Amino acid sequence: MSSRPLIGVTGPDRGGLAAWMASWFAVRRAGGRAVRITPRRPRAELKLDGLIIGGGADVDPVLYGAHRHTLLEDYEAAEPRLGQRLLGLLVYPLLWALRRTLLTHAPEGDADRDRLEQALIRDALDRDLPLLGICRGMQLMNVVCGGSLHQGLEGFHEEHPQIRSVLPRKTVALAPDSVLRQILGCERCPVNALHDQGVDRLGEGLRVVAREANGVIQAVEHTERRYAIGVQWHPEYLPQKRSQQALFRALVDAAHQKCEV
């Protein structure tokens, strides 16, 4: 029998391959075994030692008592310049293919995944199972705990230029007395940014432990659980950063301790 704790990593039925491979590698480096969980393969028969709720589709606003809207209701898009239009014609087909085959992004939502991950989060919190929420995962953790989301951060704050990159181009400030700061080992940490939404009303039992300069919440942790952390960024895409790998190592260590109880 393997001594490596078994860590479930959630994702969509279609797409999400890049996130899964990056998470598998991060968990493996940290000393764990990763298993992929999707709506069609919920793996209910497995006894997990830890759980990662991955990024992806927007959380259905119905789950926090809101209705779906788009920024087109309130904003008008600027007319792109000729050079931007030409570049879009060249790059868009490649980006579309990449997202369809590797990445996870579906603004229209994924109801089956919402239901599965809600149940998994509730079970993890009930059993004090080590839990890491990434991007959408953090947002859904907040919703499960009774919080709500900003459906479009463009309507909440201004950022020029708007950063959306797998590279660590954004800086977040960490709460000095937080578990997350102890894990990452830094007061201000560079992170990446691939999100469109963010936490609005904070869920019960959660505390904010990281923000960016404009006030957007970048990380939360549960005050009554050993390891239940949500981050808005994607640590799985930063394998070169020891601080980000430490998130997975801490998760696996907590899972290992859970195994021994």
Task: Point out the residues that are catalytic.
Answer: 135, 234, 236
Enumerate the β-bridge partners of residue 158: none
Q: CA-CA distance, 38 to 143, in Å (whole number)?
A: 20
DSSP letter (8 states) at residue 79: P
Q: CA-CA distance, 217 to 202, in Å (whole number)?
A: 10
Cβ atoms of 150 and 202 closer than 8 Å: no
Q: How far is CA 93 from CA 5, 12, 56, 99, 102, in A?
A: 40, 22, 20, 10, 14
3-state secondary structure (DSSP) of residue 63:
helix
- Cβ neighbours for 177, distance < 8 A, ≥ 6 positions apart: none
- Cβ neighbours for 205, distance < 8 A, ≥ 6 positions apart: 145, 222, 223, 224, 225
- Closest by CA position to 99, among listed 198, 12, 8, 159: 12
Q: CA-CA distance, 208 to 201, in Å (whole number)?
A: 11
The secondary structure of 203-259 as a DSSP string is PTTEEEEEEETT--EEEEEETTSSSEEEESS-GGG-TT-HHHHHHHHHHHHHHHHHH
CB atoms under 10 Å from CB of 101, counted, come to: 12
